[in-house]
Amino acid sequence: MQRRFLGGTGISVPEYGLGAMMFGTGNTDPDDCVRIVHRALDAGIDLIDTADIYERGVSEEIVGRALKGRRDEVVLTTKAGMPMSEHANERGSSRRWLTRALDDSLRRLGTDHVDVYQLHRPDPHTDIDETLATLTDFVRAGKVRAVGTSTFPAELQVEAQWTAERRGHVRPRTEQPPYSMLARGAEAALLPTAQRYGMGVLVWGPLSAGWLSGRIRSADDIDLSAGRTAIERQKFDVRLPANARKLETVLALAQLADEAGLELRHMALAFVRAHPAVTSVLLGPRTMEHLESLLTGAEVTLDDALLDRIDAIVPPGTDLNPQDGYYQPPALVDPALRRR
C-alpha cells in the first residue's frame, strides 16, 4: 500500500482509507464489522474515518472496540455537525455543540484524541471565526491533532483559510468531498483550491453509492423498495432524467472497463486516486466480501489514454445528477433568501 502525507500535517496515510459509515447500518453485526477493521489494518489500511451521525454513534463505538490495543497504529478521523437529535442545539458548528460532540465521540471511540476532527457540513448559522476558535482550543487541549472539513465548497474553504490566518486560529488541513467518475464537480474549483492551500483530500463515494460497483447493468438492478435507494430515490430512480443519464453513462463506462480488461469498480477507484489533489480514497465496504473485492484492485492504475476516454464519456467537472453533490448553498434551498 503506497503512502502519502496528509496535507501539511506531516501525518502519513495510505492511499486508501477505511470509511466506517456502513458499520451499524448496512452491516448490523458488530463482530463482523470488527473483523473488517482488522482485515483492513492487516492490508495496510491504517486510516479509519467515521462520524458521530453514523447510526447515532454506533459506528464510532464499533471502531473503538476494533481499535482496542491497536489505537497507536491508526490515523483516526471523525466528524461532527449533522443533527444528532430533533433538538435545535444538537447539531451544527457552535462552540456549545462541538465541545459536547467531541467529548461524546472520544468516549465512544475509547480514546483521548482523534488525529483529524472534521466539520461534517457547513453551518450557515455559526460564524466561522467562532468555529475555528473552538477547534483551535481542541488542538491546544490535545484532544485533536488536526482539523478539517467535509463537503465544503471552494468559497467556504477560502473563507476558512482567510479567517484562520487573520485570527490566529488553526486552519483546516483536510477536506473530504464526494468524488467519482459520475460526480466530478469537485474538479472545477474545490480540488484546485485544496491544492492551492496545501490541504489533504480524503475522497468519499468513489463508487457513487454503488452505481460504479459493477452490479448495475440495467434499471432492473436498482431496487427502490428498501435501504438507501428508497431513502434517496432522487439519486437512483431512472425515471428521472439525471438518473437515466447516469445509467446510460454507467453502461458506457462498464464497456470501457471491459475493453481495458478491468473491473468497473477497480477502474472507478483508480480514477479518483489518479487526481493529483487526492491524498487518500475512502472505501466504505458493507461486508468482508466487499472489502476483499476492492483490495484486489488496489494497485490498478490508469494511463492517460484511458483517462482521456473517461473524460469523453463524462466531461471534467460534471455532476451527472446535481443531487450527488450532497450540499446545496442555503440561498438555493430557501426561497426567502432570494427574494425581497
Residues 6+ apart with CB under 8 A from 46: 13, 14, 73, 74, 75
Please, is 261 exposed, middle or buried when counting C-beta atoms within 10 Å of its C-beta (0-12, 13-18, 19+)? exposed
**What is the rounded CA–CA span in Å between residue 323 and residue 146?**
30
Among this protein's residues, is 54 annotated catalytic? yes
Residue 202, CB-side half-sphere exposure with 13 Å CA sphere: 35
CA distance 145 to 77: 10
Q: What Å distances lie between residue 207 and 183, 249, 308, CA to CA?
A: 10, 13, 19
End-to-end CA distance of the chain: 55
Is residue 270 exposed (0-12), middle (13-18) or buried (19+ Cβ within 10 Å)? buried
- How many Cβ atoms sit within 10 Å of the Cβ of residue 309? 15
Catalytic residue (choose from 16, 54, 117, 179): 54
Q: Which three cell numbers stand for residue 226?
A: 428498501
Q: Which three cell numbers stand for residue 295?
A: 483490495
Catalytic residue positions? 54
